[in-house]
């Protein structure tokens, strides 16, 4: 089976450090747990970085520190993993689904402007599949409207806009280190911010409510990443740019072979450096995406859909009845193809090409 993705890390690379952790007996709040957030902040150019158990808890914590709750609205990109909306719903606020571009798969500014109300307390811009195209325009809009911008950068470590890394653009940025992500710790997440007030709140909210003196000045949470996960992250941070370059080369191979067959790639704005977290195409008109996936599976090639139309899922469809057309089209017609270190790209593309000859 040609896998969809494989982590860019091997046991041999970290075996000695793992032995050090086991010898110390420190499995939480140790050396690597302290080092990893500093490496993240340094890499993306942000003032502050805090670790969480996942991008989901990072998003949830970001909304909680803003005091989001019942009666509030949070605008969210409609083409994303369900967690982007679930964290809003969980707090009793209403997710307002914003449709996306059929080219970049990211939030449409004009649709957002039409849906902002007095109840809008935050905007979650999703870097769809690692692509932050348009976030600079949304950031300007948020400044003009006095609305906090949260960047769901679960897939976007290593991506840039106008020379700035994701993590140094929005008021709050949330990353994921899930196994399918470009940088993986097995599980985990992070929040970055340049806002000192937000940072102060995060410092105690993510520490059970305790300040630096150990006084429990508030209630808080245990969203800590374990030491071994942080060890993996520390090892991979220096590799990010090299991983991105390799994936961009893989994308060129796919483009060369699949665009002539009618596949439409996800596009990035001219001012965007896309990390190619996932290589995703809209299938040609007349081709059933699910049938194509089933065929590729018989050829031992693992694929998946692009991602989900949040407003079209059963729960949100029944509760809000506000399905976004472009997001639904992309859910039904996109395919994600394998990309990882060492993959035989030519073999994959030749198999796909032979299907259409």
How far apart, in whole angstroms, are the C-alpha atoms of residue 133 and residue 311?
21
For the cut 80, the answer to whether the pLDDT of residue 356 exceeds it is no
| pLDDT tens profile 39-95 | 999 999 999 999 999 999 999 999 999 999 999 999 999 999 999 999 999 999 999
Share of the chain above pLDDT 70, in %: 99
Q: By mean pLDDT, which of 185-189, 303-307, 349-353 is the weakest?
A: 349-353
Integer angstrom CA distances of residue 269 from 131, 249, 351: 9, 18, 30
Give the mean pLDDT of 180-207: 96
| Res 343: pLDDT | 84
* Arch. (CATH architecture) of 11-238: 3-Layer(aba) Sandwich (3.40)
| pLDDT tens profile 259-277 | 999 999 999 999 999 999 9
Give the mean pLDDT of 207-212: 94
How far apart, in whole angstroms, are the C-alpha atoms of residue 5 and residue 218?
41
| Res 281: pLDDT | 97
For the cut 70, the answer to whether the pLDDT of residue 357 exceeds it is no
| In CATH, 240-355 is 3.40.50.10190 | no
pLDDT top residue among 212 and 315 = 315
| Res 347: pLDDT | 78
Check if 11-238 and 240-355 are the same fold.
Answer: no
Average confidence score pLDDT of the chain: 95
* This prediction's pTM: 0.96
Q: Give phi and psi for 168, each to the nearest 5.
A: -135, 30
- Sequence spans of domains, the chain: 11-238, 240-355
Give the mean pLDDT of 148-172: 98
Give the mean pLDDT of 219-230: 95
């Amino acid at each position: 089976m040609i896998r969809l993705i494989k982590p860019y890390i091997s046991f041999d690379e970290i075996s000695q450090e793992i032995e050090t952790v086991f010898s110390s007996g420190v499995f939480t709040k140790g050396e690597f747990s302290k080092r990893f957030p500093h490496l993240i902040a340094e890499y993306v150019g942000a003032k502050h970085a805090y670790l969480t158990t996942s991008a989901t808890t990072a998003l949830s914590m970001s909304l909680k520190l803003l005091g989001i709750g019942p009666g509030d609205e949070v605008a969210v990109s409609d083409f994303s993993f369900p967690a982007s909306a679930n964290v809003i719903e969980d707090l009793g606020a209403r997710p307002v689904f914003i449709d996306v571009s059929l080219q970049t798969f990211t939030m449409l500014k004009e649709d957002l402007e039409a849906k902002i109300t007095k109840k809008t307390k935050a905007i979650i811009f999703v870097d769809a599949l690692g692509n932050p195209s348009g976030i600079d325009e949304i950031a300007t809009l948020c400044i003009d409207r006095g609305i906090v911008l949260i960047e769901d950068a679960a897939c976007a470590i290593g991506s840039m806009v106008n020379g700035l890394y994701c993590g140094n653009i929005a008021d709050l940025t949330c990353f994921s280190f899930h196994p399918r992500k470009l940088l993986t710790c097995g599980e985990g997440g992070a929040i970055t911010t340049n806002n000192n007030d937000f940072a102060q709140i995060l410092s105690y909210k993510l520490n059970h409510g305790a300040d630096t003196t150990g006084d429990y000045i508030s209630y808080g949470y245990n969203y800590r990443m374990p030491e071994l996960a942080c060890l993996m992250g520390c090892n991979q941070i220096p590799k990010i740019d090299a991983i991105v370059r390799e994936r961009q080369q893989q994308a060129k191979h796919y483009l060369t072979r699949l665009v002539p067959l009618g596949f439409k790639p996800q596009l990035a704005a001219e001012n965007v450096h896309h990390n190619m977290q996932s290589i995703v195409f809209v299938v040609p008109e007349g081709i059933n995406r699910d049938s194509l996936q089933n065929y590729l599976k018989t050829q031992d090639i693992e694929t998946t859909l692009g991602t989900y139309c949040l407003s079209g899922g059963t729960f949100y469809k029944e509760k809000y009845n506000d399905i976004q057309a472009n997001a639904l089209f992309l859910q039904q017609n996109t395919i994600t193809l394998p990309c990882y270190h060492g993959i035989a790209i030519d073999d994959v593309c030749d198999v796909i090409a032979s299907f259409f000859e």
